């Protein structure tokens, strides 16, 4: 590989497709390697090599492995590499597409995450899965009892006590198997609640100890969950030149369909990380509700709350929530990028 400058790798679990090219993009060599030979191949890289990978599962791990050899690593977004795939999709054409996409200077590479950031992101992924499982168990229990004429009140609070009381009240009417099924679901629900309690403690501990997370919690409607999720997902805040770029990266800016002198803006693009966008929208919804309550009680409002209520009366609730989420994203960018204290938070909110 003495004349090679670019190495395009199509990552996989067991078989890795490698294309080695020179500075002009001419293919010098193709290799199809299993995991062990691929690891030995990584050890042969030098600081003169540019390694191109698709931003997918395990890409950050292999990117860090390549960086330890001094090579320059570029992780390209998968949705932008796909148009360069010619003919049928195979490992070979995928690697060729990476080589072609790398020649496009307009494609911005994805920053490589640290192991700590991936661990924080994994913590939030597990928390989300347990929340979904908890909701599924509750819905199954509601449906099971409703089939026998028992309708539980809306809400998840005191679910266990309500189910037990309903089973005791209708014990003579229910088949013997129904209480047993309900007890199994309650036991599973109790176990999930205990796991969620532990993981929420981990999130709270991270929010207290990580300096960036502590600073981000000064922003209105940003709590421990949102702050730690931002720390785990956003690799380098300084790669966003403006707050609008940060909001656009999270899909909180309008989708544009323009041509010539005609400019048409639609709903939000919903690109980027759905989890972060959801958290910011939840925070904006809570902020808007708090502003409505304070207004009803004739209490003073912050400039951000006043602006949110103006958008609410002018454009409706859902648009006001998204607009506030966009505003929160810009405030987060300003506080994070400028490494400011509460003074800037008060100024912009």
Judged against a pLDDT cut of 70, whether residue 346 lies above it is answered with: no
Q: Which is nearest to 115 in space by CA: 68, 48, 171, 181?
A: 68
Q: In angstroms, rounded to a whole number, what is the distance separating the alpha carbons of residues 277 and 300?
A: 29
Just give the CATH number of 6-102: 3.30.420.40
pLDDT at 343: 53
Q: For the beta carbon of residue 59, count every other beta carbon within 10 angstroms.
A: 20
Q: What pLDDT digit, counting tens, does each position of 134-178 carry?
A: 999 999 999 999 999 999 888 888 888 999 999 999 988 899 899
Q: What pLDDT digit, counting tens, does each position of 37-90 carry?
A: 999 999 999 999 999 999 988 999 999 999 999 999 999 999 999 999 988 999
Q: What pLDDT digit, counting tens, does each position of 218-275 carry?
A: 999 999 999 999 999 998 999 999 999 999 999 999 998 888 888 888 899 998 899 9
Place of tokens 């972060």: 276
Judged against a pLDDT cut of 70, whether residue 340 lies above it is answered with: no
Burial profile 8-39: b = 16 or more Cβ within 10 angstroms, e = fewer = bbbbbeeebbbbbbeeeeeeeeeeebeeeebe
How open is the CA angle 102-106-107, to the nearest 5 degrees? 55
The model's confidence at residue 23, banded by pLDDT at 50, 70 and 90, is: confident
Q: What pLDDT digit, counting tens, does each position of 188-198 carry?
A: 999 999 999 99
pTM score: 0.89
At residue 332, the 3 state secondary structure works out as: helix
Which residue ranges make up each domain of the chain?
6-102, 115-209, 213-256+268-348
Judged against a pLDDT cut of 70, whether residue 122 lies above it is answered with: yes
Pairing of strands 50-55, 27-34: unpaired
């Amino acid at each position: 590989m003495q004349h090679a400058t670019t190495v395009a790798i199509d990552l996989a679990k067991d078989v890795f497709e490698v294309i080695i090219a020179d500075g002009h993009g001419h293919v010098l060599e193709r290799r199809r390697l299993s995991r062990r030979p691929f690891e030995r191949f990584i050890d042969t890289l030098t600081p003169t090599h540019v390694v191109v990978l698709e931003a997918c599962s395990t890409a950050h791990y292999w990117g860090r492995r390549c960086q330890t050899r001094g090579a320059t690593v570029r992780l390209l977004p998968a949705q932008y590499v796909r148009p360069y795939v010619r003919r049928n999709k195979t490992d070979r054409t995928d690697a060729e597409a990476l080589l072609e996409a790398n020649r496009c200077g307009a494609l911005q590479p994805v920053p490589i995450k640290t192991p700590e950031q991936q661990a924080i992101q994994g913590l939030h992924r597990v928390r989300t899965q347990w929340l979904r499982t908890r909701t599924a168990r509750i819905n199954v229990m509601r449906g099971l009892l409703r089939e026998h004429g028992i309708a539980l009140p809306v809400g998840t609070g005191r679910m266990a006590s309500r189910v037990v009381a309903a089973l005791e009240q209708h014990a003579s009417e229910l088949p013997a198997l129904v209480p047993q099924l309900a007890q199994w679901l309650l036991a599973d629900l109790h176990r999930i609640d205990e796991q969620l309690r532990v993981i929420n403690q981990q999130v709270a501990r991270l929010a207290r100890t990580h300096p960036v997370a502590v600073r981000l919690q000064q922003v209105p409607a940003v709590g421990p969950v949102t702050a730690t999720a931002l720390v785990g997902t956003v690799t380098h805040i300084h790669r966003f030149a403006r707050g609008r770029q940060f909001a656009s990266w999270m899909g909180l800016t309008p989708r544009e369909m323009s041509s010539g002198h005609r400019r048409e803006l639609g709903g939000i693009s919903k690109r980027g990380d759905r989890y972060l966008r959801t958290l910011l929208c939840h925070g904006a919804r809570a902020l808007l509700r708090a502003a409505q309550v304070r207004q009803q009680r004739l209490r003073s409002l912050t400039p951000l709350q006043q602006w949110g209520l103006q958008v609410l009366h002018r454009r409706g609730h859902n648009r006001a929530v998204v607009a506030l989420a966009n505003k929160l994203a810009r405030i987060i960018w300003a506080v994070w990028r400028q490494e400011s204290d509460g003074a800037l938070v008060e100024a912009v909110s």
